[in-house]
Amino acid sequence: MTSRERVLTALAHAEPDRVPINYMANPEIDERLKAHYGLAKGDDEGLRRALGVDFRCLEAPYVGPKLHADVPDRVIDTWGIHRRWIEHTAGGYWDYCDWPLREATLEEVEAWPMPNPDHFDYARVLQWCRQYEGYCIMTGSPGMGDIINSTGMIRTMEQVLIDLATDNPAGLRLTDRRLAVQAEVLRRTLEAVGGRIDLVWLGEDLGTQIGPMISRPLFRKHIRPRHQKFVDIARAFNLPVMIHSCGSSSWAFDDFLEMGIRAVDTLQPEARDMAPAYLKSRWGDRLAFHGMISTAGPVAYGTPEDVVRSVRETLDVMMPGGGYCLAPTHQLQSNSPTENVVAMYDAARRYGAYTSTA
């Protein structure tokens, strides 16, 4: 099978030749893996081929004018989100900071510069789609449609949760302005590529490690209707939708199904009600699953043998009948030894084959 055929077969709850594979990692892991495989630092495609990755994720790049002024020691993106560099024992990362709209009024939210959908390069996505023909091509990310995290990056998560609970006009307007841009960019992207995209990826972290982050009534009041707009755009192009949700999020899976979402991403096995056997038995015939190899488990803290054992145990539960794509639960972190990550992908390719179709 081609990678595209492999993924679409799994999403349709049938057994492909092997379990589809995906990859997400932070820069330190990425650099170490490229060195391990003898690749140049910028050879992203070479690394994905070495790992056997079946997905390619594409988004239209912003090519418009600069919207926000520079601030010393900060990286500021198109939305005005501020990040600062934080060192840690395994490297470093760009952490969110400053939160310029934390106490913003409705008037200040209305005046905040936002990207114009006219200023994205949709033709570039079409070029990339042609380049990656044969792979499963996704568009979107865990940040597309996301409300709690992404709005929290500029307003604080605490304030966003207050906004949702109190119907705060400023916070809800900030969310709606951002999502309106994203939805229009998605629609124009799908129009531009002429059927070459296979999957739309949304996100919303709905769980802590021990339970829901918000109540179901609040989810249905403020989050589900806003996500539905993205799902409806994808369905208008006959495309399946996958949603990223960290933590204990299975409480929302029935809502996802009602909305028309076909697959769920992340699937942290250590969180409450997220064990592979539980998810497979409850929703395995209706939802496809993407993830489940914990970045806080053996990949980070075990030996290569522990990693292989964990991957095999997950595959034993999730493979029957299709409906599973193997991936880390989030970006692989710098504390994961290179040999463990290599063992994870070697095991996925070796033990993820369906002997009846191989």
Contact 282, 159 (CB under 8 A): no
Three-state DSSP state, 202: strand
| Closest C-alpha among 252, 309, 320 to residue 15 | 320
Note the pLDDT of residue 89: 82
Residue 89 lies inside a defined structural domain of this protein: no
Mean pLDDT in runs of 10 for the chain (358 residues)? Answer: 98 98 96 98 97 98 97 97 91 93 98 98 98 98 97 97 98 98 98 97 97 98 98 98 98 98 97 98 98 97 98 98 97 96 98 75
Strand partners, 19: none
The residue range of the domain holding 346 is 3-63+104-351
148-155 vs 169-193: helix crossing angle, rounded to 10: 120
Structural domain count of the chain: 1
Note the pLDDT of residue 92: 87
Contact 311, 342 (CB under 8 A): no
Note the pLDDT of residue 28: 93
Residue 215 lies inside a defined structural domain of this protein: yes
Whichever domain contains 233, its CATH number is 3.20.20.210
Chain segment 108-126, per-residue pLDDT in tens: 999 999 999 999 999 999 9
Residue 125 lies inside a defined structural domain of this protein: yes
Secondary element (H or E) of residue 342: helix 338-351
Residue 190 lies inside a defined structural domain of this protein: yes
Would you give the distance in Å from CA 172 to the centre of its chain? 23
CA distance 261 to 202: 10
Instruction: Return the structure tokens found at 257.
Output: 């199904």
Residue 356 lies inside a defined structural domain of this protein: no
Residue 38 lies inside a defined structural domain of this protein: yes
Residue 147 lies inside a defined structural domain of this protein: yes
**Residue pointed to by tokens 């307003």:** 155
Three-state DSSP state, 75: strand
Q: Strand 75-76's sheet: what is its strand order?
A: 75-76, 82-88, 91-97
Residue 93 lies inside a defined structural domain of this protein: no
Strand partners, 203: 244
Note the pLDDT of residue 358: 38
Contact 110, 173 (CB under 8 A): yes
